Amino acid sequence: MTWHRRTLFAAVGLAVTACASSPPRPEPAEETPPAGRAKKPASAAVTPPAGTAAVQSANAAPPPAATANVARRDFDDAVQRAREGDCKSAIPLLDSAVQDSPRLGWAYYDLGVCYERTGQVERAADAYRRAADLQPAAIQATDNLTRLYLRVGRASTAESVLGDLAARHPKAVALHDDLARVFEAEGRYDRAADEAKKVLKVDERNVPAMLELASIFYHRKQFELARMVTENARQIDSSNPLVFNTLGFLDLADKNKALALEDFRQAVTLDGALPEAQNNLGALLVEIQDYPDAIQHLQAAVKAEPSFVAARVNLGNAYHGNKQDDLALREYRRALEIDPAHKDIYFDLGLLFLDGSIPGVAPLDRLSQAVAYLKKFRDAGGGDPKLDRYLGDAQKAIAQETRHEEIDRRNKLRAAEAAKKKAAAAAQKAAEAQRAAGANQAAMPQNATSGVRPASLTAGGEKIGDKLGDADIGAPARPTSSKAAAAQPPPAPAADKLGDEK
């Protein structure tokens, strides 16, 4: 049976990847955006230099000097630790900073970054919301908030939160780009195009909005228009990794996998911390069965974004292809914990249990679970051209495994019966040998078997043994002739002769 995986990179989301408007990966506050970060609209606030207190909103009253110094010290220390990858120790410092100075918008932003990196989705979302409310012109917070919700499959929540922020901050143009991405993720392409055009009316060279529009054309299968808009965006910002990420999808639409692979690699080269680009490159490598390289890139994606469901599913597929089924099962289950409604995971679990070897799971149980997962995928509204064939293969495998188990059971019974008969025959033979040995012992002379030395014969009042001298007295004396064999009476004493001698 040919193993098949449902690759997710095309659905993972051009909406999630090609249309992003700010840092592809959350970063602590810094002076200049990392390579590949999309250009901000002209009205956007500049991120404060690393190690300085965060910029206050225009109408915020400054905190007392002593409090500000404490908040700044905690903030600076936390930023340094986060940059070193130690978010766990940075979180308490950032939390202390915002407690001392609740108007520190960038501290909330960095707190959201650290929460997200440690897989604390709800806390990260809350911190991003607070940062966006304090500094609506700074697009990083709303961008990360949007990405976070889309990665965990909560587009409707993102729409609600962003709509509320847009109502409170109507001049925050970047919010419309985030809304465009959410509408695209929901398949509402007309609404998405309207939001992107609102941004372009204010800034016609806004690369994120241009890529969003290209993404909408892609979904509508207007590939020539999508490519034209993307090429215009590349002329404006050729170092933006999201441009090449979009070109990768367009080359896949043209059935040019080799060129698409180069596009995704270029996106990763420009910004290795961009999880969507790492995911898309990894998913394409899974499809061409380069599993070790795919694992490397997909591990980078989930390390940067632990809540990135699609990347975890693709990583599970890569592990499956690399015969690491226990690791594949771990990633699928983690993805389900993040998004239980992600029906494609059930499809991949079904294939894993159908073709894999799950430690601790008997073959028949494994196949039964494969059928259960595939049916759950179908019942959730999932569709795949080969689904019915896979279900049929699973049922056939169950029937075959059932026959094998029955044959094995019968063979074991026969073997057990044969072993029982053999043991009984051996016991009977041993008993017969014991009886024969007993009979032979009973037939032997008592002297020969008692171990008692026979009494010595005497002749003339002397023991024969004494006459033998050094002869072995432990054994009966051997007769020297046939006459000596019979016992003879001793001669009568010559009394007269004895008397005469006296």
CA 35 to chain centre: 31
pLDDT at residue 352 in the model? 93
| Predicted local distance difference test score (pLDDT) of residue 489 | 53
Bridge-partner residues for 458, per DSSP? 463
pLDDT at 229: 96
CA atoms within 13 A on the CB side of 124: 24
pLDDT given for residue 253 in this prediction: 94
Buried b (16+ CB within 10 A) or exposed e, 220-249: eeebeebbebbeebbeebeebbbbbbbbbb
Helix axes 325-338, 344-355, angle to 10 degrees: 160
Provide the Cα torsion 152, 21, 305, 341; round to 10°: 10
* Residue 471 Ramachandran class (φ > 0 left, ψ -120 to 50 alpha, else beta): beta
- Provide the pLDDT for residue 41: 28
Cα→Cα distances 198→169, 207, 495, Å: 15, 13, 164
- Asked whether 20 and 209 are in contact (CB, 8 A), the reply is no
Query: H helices then E strands: how many in the chain?
Result: 23, 2
Which residue type occupies 51?
Answer: G
DSSP 462: E
3-state secondary structure 316-350: HHHHHHCCCHHHHHHHHHHHHHHCCCCCHHHHHHH
DSSP code for 381: T
pLDDT tens column, 167-200: 888 888 888 999 999 999 999 999 999 999 999 9
Contact, 301 vs 274, CB < 8 A?
Answer: no
Query: Quick one: pLDDT at residue 245?
Result: 94
- Is residue 362 a contact partner of residue 331, using CB atoms and an 8 Å limit? no
**Residue 387 CB neighbours (<10 A):** 17
Q: What is the pLDDT of residue 30?
A: 32
Looking at residue 405, its pLDDT comes to 78
Q: Which residue ranges in the chain fall short of pLDDT 70?
A: 1-71, 445-502
